A and B are shown apart, each in its own frame.
Chain A
């Protein structure tokens, strides 16, 4: 089966950097997704990592280490609009298993 762990909540200051960690245990690895979800809205896709290393997309980067069962999402130059929940998810057959989400609060 799948088991995914991520911190429940993090707080950071506008302009700073925040790193959201995700550890997973899965039988058969097929990549890892990150989603962003603002309060009351649907999740939206941020990134998909299948190979080890860092992938950068503007202010957001995602890192994967398959040997360690570990990923992180790095948010740089934080803006108030980045206040949201961030979900990591791993494929399992035809479905995705989601972590509980990390709620990030950006303060002025």
Chain B
């Protein structure tokens, strides 16, 4: 069974802080994704990566960056957190673009 693990379920940070969200998958998947999910706006793609050290912007990359130094790990970075980045963040992985994405449990991030 595919396991996608996000480092925290709940996180509270302050405005201006640098925030790291970590995601690890155990199925040797090529593709990894970071989404945020907000009421009424659905799932929106922030960044994705299709190989180590490769990244592509999704639909809402502003204010975020990512790092993929190892195949199994994909990190989302909020360079200077702002209150409008309070959200549920979901990480996912897939072996191929036409295979299902498998999601982690999510991190509910609050920026105060």
**B-contact bits for A45-69, CB 8 A (1 contact / 0 none):** 1001010000000000000000000
Interface residues of B in 81-106 (CB under 8 A from A): 90, 97-98, 100-106
Give Cα A31–Cα B40 distance, bound, in whole angstroms: 25
Main secondary structure of the interface of A (DSSP, over half): loop
Partner among B43, B58, B106 whose Cβ is within 8 Å of the Cβ of A87 = B43
Interface residues of B in 22-41 (CB under 8 A from A): 31, 33, 40-41
Partner among B42, B90, B100 whose Cβ is within 8 Å of the Cβ of A101 = B42
Contact A96 B98 (CB under 8 A): no
Shortest A46–chain B CB gap in Å is: 9
Shortest B103–chain A CB gap in Å is: 4
Partner among A42, A95, A98 whose Cβ is within 8 Å of the Cβ of B97 = A95
A→B interface (CB under 8 Å): 30-31, 33, 40-45, 48, 50, 87, 91, 93-101
Q: Can you name 7 A-B pairs with beta carbons within 8 Å?
A: A43-B90, A48-B98, A87-B42, A94-B56, A95-B48, A95-B58, A100-B42
